[in-house]
Structure 1
Amino acid sequence: MSDLVFIAFPSEQKAEEVRQKVLGLQREYLIELEDAVVVVKDENGRVKLNQLLNPTATGAVSGALWGTLIGFIFLMPLVGTALGAASGALGGKLTDYGINDAFMKDAASALQPGMGGLFLLIRKMTADKVLADLEGIGGTVVRTSLDGKAEAALREAIAGQVASGTDDKAATQP
């Protein structure tokens, strides 16, 4: 089962910076994400989603490839490419991977204008190492599906209040 975390930040840039940090942790195999979306509430109150994967573009590229191949069979590759790209884009637009877009827009409506947020859908993680890397990033935990103990640990880490398990003397010795 996956866990959902929504963290609010003072700006879109800070939310994107933290997302890149979390993606770096994923490359180190410390966390496994299903989705990571930056949301922004603009000055007019509209919520914009900045997703990792654009299903419309992906569908258009895939559809164009298959349309071209099928078009070659019927000796009309350009028509096949155009029809394939259009149908792929439509299919991609109707597809929603990861976190539900309507849910994210509803949750992000609680943000103040100009603020950003980060939604993480976490499949699994090495909690102690991830929390240590996220220590002191700032932000406010808005919602989670974590249990009470894990949520409290996340709030403490983000605020920079995690007690390190090492002795100060040991940390300064070579």
Structure 2
Amino acid sequence: MLMATLSVWKFSDVDGAERAERVLLDLQNKELIKVHDAAVISWEAGAKKPKTKQLHNLTGAGALGGSFWGLLFGLIFFVPLLGAAVGAAMGAASASLADVGIDDSFIKRVRDKVVPGTSALFILSSDAVKDRVVEAFQGTRMELLETNLSREDEEALRGAFAPE
């Protein structure tokens, strides 16, 4: 089995991730990629924080669940706004994410890139037919930030964050 990949696709407008989501779901319907779970961030210019949406129609045996996305988005977008006590608790959570392949440099890269006026699509996927996926997104202006997760890391994430 191929390794799962947690990808973050950043778009320079607030609607880019929604458009990419539709393309991605079409690719999955054509069995050109397996999407285990995904979430969309849209950050309107001038807004204090982004809007988040988990793609619930994808949740199933492979889904990480809302608690995973909530923790990840909290670490990325809200830590600078939190008090010391909450920040320390988030730091402990961040350390456990590092154990499964999501480290501080990944969080910082995403935080620095996904800002007001942009959007991002977060995807846990595997089994992509890469040339067909690339072809489907040709002409799309996006920046791809990516971290690969081993099978063990993926299972650890699912175990820690799967819905009960």
**Fold match (TM-score > 0.5):** yes
The whole-number CA distance in structure 1 between the counterparts of 2:47 and 2:111 is: 11
Out of 7, 10, 13, the position equivalent to 1:8 is 10
The whole-number CA distance in structure 2 between the counterparts of 1:127 and 1:22 is: 12
Structure 2 equivalent of residue 138 of structure 1:
141
Report the count of equivalent residues: 107
TM-score normalised by structure 2 residue count: 0.56
Label 1:98 to 1:138 Cα distance change in 2 as closer, same or farther (>3 A): farther
The whole-number CA distance in structure 2 between the counterparts of 1:4 and 1:135 is: 21
Letter in 1 for 2:34: E
Following TM superposition, by how much is the alpha carbon of 1:124 offset from its aligned partner in structure 2, in angstroms?
1.8
Identity over aligned residues, as a percent? 24
Letter in 2 for 1:128: D
Letter in 2 for 1:4: L
Matches within 5 A, 1:48-87: 48-53=51-56
Label 1:137 to 1:145 Cα distance change in 2 as closer, same or farther (>3 A): same
TM-score normalised by structure 1 residue count: 0.53
Structure 1 equivalent of residue 69 of structure 2:
100
SS of corresponding position for 1:11: coil
Higher relative contact order (CA 8 A, sep 6+): 2
Following TM superposition, by how much is the alpha carbon of 1:99 offset from its aligned partner in structure 2, in angstroms?
4.9
**RMSD (Å), alpha carbons:** 2.7
Matched, 1:40 2:63: no
Structure 2, unaligned runs of 5 or more: 77-106, 150-164
| Preserved CA contact (<8 Å) 2:54 2:69 | no
| Preserved CA contact (<8 Å) 2:54 2:66 | no
The whole-number CA distance in structure 2 between the counterparts of 1:122 and 1:40 is: 20
The whole-number CA distance in structure 2 between the counterparts of 1:9 and 1:99 is: 22
Following TM superposition, by how much is the alpha carbon of 1:146 offset from its aligned partner in structure 2, in angstroms?
4.2
Letter in 2 for 1:39: I
Q: Which has the larger radius of gyration?
A: 1
Out of 30, 35, 40, the position equivalent to 1:28 is 30
Structure 1, unaligned runs of 5 or more: 59-94, 148-174
**Range that drifts further, 109-118 or 12-21:** 109-118
Matched, 1:117 2:120: yes
